[in-house]
Amino acid sequence: MTDHKRIDDPELFNDPAFEKFDAPAGSPVRPQQLTLDDTMQFHCHKGVSCFNECCMNIDLTLTPYDILRLARRLQITTTQFLHLFAQTFDLDHHGMPGLKMRPVEGGTACQFVTAEGCSVYQDRPTACRYYAMGTMGMRRKGESRLEDVYFMVQEPHCKGHEAAHALTVREYRREQGVEHYDEMNRDWFDIIVKKRSAGPTVGAPTERSFQLFYLASYDPDGFREFTRSPGFQEMFDLDPAERDALDRDDEALLRFAMRLLKQVLFGESTIPLKEGAAQRRYEQRKAAIEQRWKEQAEKYRLKKPGDEDGE
């Protein structure tokens, strides 16, 4: 199954000011944009001659909610899931980390495919639910709102297109259970599009921001530990109900993680800081930079500008 939530495909997704949907030449993407009420023809079922073929050569981008659902399904932590089932790639060609499903060792098949079909079917990723339909969030010129664009993907091996089964895009999305997935991932897609729109230099995030992006996006269990750390608690002023939700509710945790990312990456201030937290943070950073300078100076016997008594 190729990845049709093509957030990593620069041909399809790199133009924040798109005017019309345009599939690259030679692509299996049909050059026809669909709305929720348009009708499509497709049916995938166990009796189809190509059963499982789409899971034998995977290229699946994982979303934050995909990882959460799969880890809970497998009863492992999201940290363990990342270690066993994911591999990183460059999401925007400027260092923003993305994740793909890692295929079987030395092969291309999904680790979850069995002779009976998908072993994690109820919790399968967004891209698997959409296939053979694809979708992208795109921004029209002059508009701030993201618009969902749908299209069909017709690969030669997939016989599902031959079935006489017509339904609307809206019905297909409901049938495949993608609505809740899209709702849970919406803020994350917004962040990626906003970052891409900014380009490589405008407001370029630091290495630490990318580390936070990785933790907040892909490792909710690790992020939960981070929200319990003294550094986090000294910085953010959460009311007890929200604190409790972060401890107990995975979806609340994921929503909060996206708010924190927007605050750190774009300065959208929705999480209150404790009084004096910013100043304390500044002092800590200044002290750390001073310490590093001292260490470097000692190492290379450099003289700090303004020092009178260095070597």
Minimal distance, residue 258 CB to ligand SF4, in Å: 24
- Per CB under 6 A, 118 contacts ligand SF4: yes
Minimal distance, residue 155 CB to ligand SF4, in Å: 7
- Per CB under 6 A, 18 contacts ligand SF4: no
Candidates 22-30, 117-125, 195-203, 252-260 — which segment interacts with ligand SF4 by CB under 6 A?
117-125
Q: What is the DSSP string of 6-48?
A: -TT-HHHH--TTBSS--PPTT-SB-S--B-TTSEEE----TTS
**What distance in Å separates the CA atoms of residue 134 and residue 129, rounded to the nearest whole number?**
10
- Yes or no: say if 128 and 118 are a contact pair by the CB < 8 Å rule: yes
Minimal distance, residue 301 CB to ligand SF4, in Å: 57
Minimal distance, residue 118 CB to ligand SF4, in Å: 3
- Yes or no: say if 187 and 255 are a contact pair by the CB < 8 Å rule: yes
**What distance in Å separates the CA atoms of residue 211 and residue 195, rounded to the nearest whole number?**
15
Q: Which helix (H) or strand (E) holds 219?
A: none
Residue closer to ligand SF4 (CB basis): 112 or 256: 112
Question: Strand ranges (DSSP E) for 26-154?
Answer: 39-41, 86-90, 97-101, 113-114, 117-118, 133-139, 146-152
Minimal distance, residue 149 CB to ligand SF4, in Å: 21
Residues 48-87, interacting with ligand SF4 (CB under 6 A): 48, 50-55, 58
DSSP 8-state secondary structure symbol assigned to residue 274: P
**What distance in Å separates the CA atoms of residue 47 and residue 80, rounded to the nearest whole number?**
35
DSSP, collapsed to helix, strand or coil, labels residue 75 as coil
Candidates 8-16, 46-54, 193-201, 292-300 — which segment interacts with ligand SF4 by CB under 6 A?
46-54
Candidates 88-96, 107-115, 234-242, 288-296 — which segment interacts with ligand SF4 by CB under 6 A?
107-115
Token readout for 179 is: 């609505």
- Per CB under 6 A, 226 contacts ligand SF4: no
Residue closer to ligand SF4 (CB basis): 48 or 264: 48
Residue closer to ligand SF4 (CB basis): 52 or 263: 52
Among 124, 139, 173, 262, binds ligand SF4 (CB under 6 A): 124
- Per CB under 6 A, 112 contacts ligand SF4: yes
Interhelix angle for 220-227 vs 64-74, to 10°?
A: 100
Instruction: Name the nearest CA neighbour of 192 among 271, 91, 86.
Output: 91
- Per CB under 6 A, 34 contacts ligand SF4: no
- Per CB under 6 A, 178 contacts ligand SF4: no
Residues 149-168, interacting with ligand SF4 (CB under 6 A): 157-160
CB neighbourhood size of 131 (10 A)? 25
Binding site for ligand SF4 (CB under 6 A): 1, 44, 48, 50-55, 58, 110, 112-113, 118, 120, 124-125, 128, 131-132, 157-160
